Amino acid sequence: MILKNKKAIILVETLYNDLEFWYPYYRLKEEGAEVCVVGPEAGRQYTGKSGIVVKAYKGMNDVHAEEYDAIIIPGGYAPDHMRRHSAMVKLVKDFYDAGKTVAAICHGGWMLASADILQDKKVTAFFAIKDDLVHAGADFVDDAVVIDKNLVTSRTPDDLPVFMKAIIKMMADA
């Protein structure tokens, strides 16, 4: 229970990558963290790429960075939907600016680009969005997990074990 008394948000939107949502959700709970699922609207159900439905506990306007220790952005096509909501983008930026753990996997890097926090940051992501991240000012590397200050990024579901180890360590050390 290394994360007892720690709180994390996992963002959700339609077409989220099921593995990249549920693996972090259960790993954080396993370590004792309180996990809050946040979508554009509280109580709304969002369907993942595999058809698994998750309900948002809270809406994007119901949470504030100072109440939590980390925010996790799963991939799939959900980040493209997430970045259409300025409040979701602002939430990511607020976490980053507060020095809290900000983690993105796969296409989750799109939210980091939209939050304008990638300038001179070393990151990784699914290779298809490399150009987007580079154009946003990032130094893209092809590694399983990349940590740059309070940013943790990974490429694909295959990287989930090292992604979560890095997030858990960062949260525990904070």
pLDDT band at 3, cuts 50/70/90? Answer: very high
Residue 160 corresponds to which amino acid?
L
Secondary structure in 3-state letters for 27-86: HHHHCCCEEEEEECCCCCEEECCCCCEEECCEECCCCCHHHCCEEEECCECHHHHHCCCH
User: Could you tell me what percent of the chain has a pLDDT over 70?
Assistant: 100
pLDDT band at 23, cuts 50/70/90? Answer: very high
User: Is residue 2, in this structure, part of any structural domain at all?
Assistant: no
User: Is residue 131, in this structure, part of any structural domain at all?
Assistant: yes
Complete DSSP assignment for 98-120? TT-EEEEEGGGHHHHHHTT--TT
For the segment 67-76, what is each residue's pLDDT rounded down to a tens digit?
Answer: 999 999 999 9
User: Is residue 17, in this structure, part of any structural domain at all?
Assistant: yes
User: Is residue 126, in this structure, part of any structural domain at all?
Assistant: yes
State the average pLDDT for the chain: 98
Range of the domain at 166: 7-173
Q: Please give the backbone phi and psi of residue 8, each rounded to the nearest 5 degrees, phi first.
A: -135, 150
CATH number for 95: 3.40.50.880
For the segment 106-165, what is each residue's pLDDT rounded down to a tens digit?
Answer: 999 999 999 999 999 999 999 999 999 999 999 999 999 999 999 999 999 999 999 999
User: Is residue 41, in this structure, part of any structural domain at all?
Assistant: yes
| Domain tally, the chain | 1
Determine the pLDDT at residue 29: 98
Write out the catalytic residue numbers.
107
User: Is residue 76, in this structure, part of any structural domain at all?
Assistant: yes
User: Is residue 86, in this structure, part of any structural domain at all?
Assistant: yes
Q: Taking a C-beta distance cutoff of 8 angstroms, is the pair 71, 81 a contact?
A: no
CA-wise closest residue to 142 among 156, 157, 159, 124: 124
pLDDT band at 6, cuts 50/70/90? Answer: very high
Determine the pLDDT at residue 148: 98
User: Is residue 1, in this structure, part of any structural domain at all?
Assistant: no
